[in-house]
Structure 1
Amino acid sequence: MKTLTKGISDTELITAAIEGNAPVVDANTAAAILACSPRTICRMCEQGKLKSAKVMGMWRINKAALFELAGMPITAGATDHE
């Protein structure tokens, strides 16, 4: 399994996103979920294909919208309105 960020595998990033309570994820986590590069995620954000916001120069992607795009069931932690 390839590593995207400082010793954290894709599987660990995906697991953290699914189990976490944060309504947003970073580009590396989104890339692991969609099996693409972080740059592709940034392009999708720039083009408005992903519900996201740029915060302090880094993209934050809405987790519920990301899971919907990936065809994954939305869990309680993935919604932005608990």
Structure 2
Amino acid sequence: MGLISEVLMLPLAPARGSVWAIGQVMREAERIYYDPGTIRAELARLEEALEAGEITEEQFDQQEDALLDRLETATRTGAGLGNGTAP
């Protein structure tokens, strides 16, 4: 960009910075959400909740299916984000 366009865009700098920061937070949240270790830990907690009688078998099955779908998505790309997109 030229100097004049930079000066004209200066009032938008806080908004551009906010958009960048939100993008960074979203990428990190997505990385954690699709982390296989996190998903496996959630599966273990889910099994403990079932054994403790805190949830029903039906609730367990529904939540387990959702977690296994997430795990499949996470492992589909290997080192990628896990959501089917490259980093």
Q: Where is the helix percentage greater, Structure 1 or Structure 2?
A: 2
Q: Where is the strand percentage greater, Structure 1 or Structure 2?
A: 1
Higher relative contact order (CA 8 A, sep 6+): 1
Q: Higher Cα Rg: structure 1 or 2?
A: 2
TM-score, normalising length: structure 2: 0.24
